Amino acid sequence: MKPELVSSGRYPAKPCPAVGAVVFKDDAVLLVKRGKEPAQGMWAIPGGSVRLGETLQSAAEREILEETGVTIRAGEPVLVFDTIQRDESGDVRFHYVIVDLAAEYIAGYPKAADDAADARWVRADELDRLDVNPATVKLLAERFGFRAPNWK
């Protein structure tokens, strides 16, 4: 473990709990372009870390507001997965246990903030033109039937 990096989320001593929120408005889903590692530059469901004492729902509501400026009401989990990235020597560089929640759009217009490089509503016919995180692709297609026209 590299202790000088632990505070930044890299080389953690244990898995970090995180949430995401799947938010639809009209015929589009709220996505962010990640501005930091892991998955920097990829489009994904917005979200972030759960703080001590927060419920999954309150963490998702806070994170989506901080990251996009959009107010949501978080609901029930729709997907639980982990993401583990190792460095060239095999040490765990990142380890997140992520719970994605269904969420209801309340108000706001997406604007990238916090650690997002971009944030916007994305229609299904735009998905194949973006570098979308594979976990996001799978979740949107399998759970919500939301897929680019040329996806299988």
E strand spans, the chain: 16-25, 28-34, 43-44, 47-49, 71-86, 92-107, 116-123
pLDDT band at 37 (very low <50, low <70, confident <90, very high): confident
* Any domain includes 101: yes
Domain that holds residue 30: 3-141
Give the tens place of pLDDT for each residue, 58-92: 999 999 999 999 999 999 999 999 989 999 999 99
For the entire predicted model, the pTM comes to 0.89
Domain count, the chain: 1
Which CATH number do you get for residue 48? Answer: 3.90.79.10
* Any domain includes 22: yes
- Indicate the average pLDDT of the chain: 91
Q: Hey, what are 140's tokens?
A: 């949107």
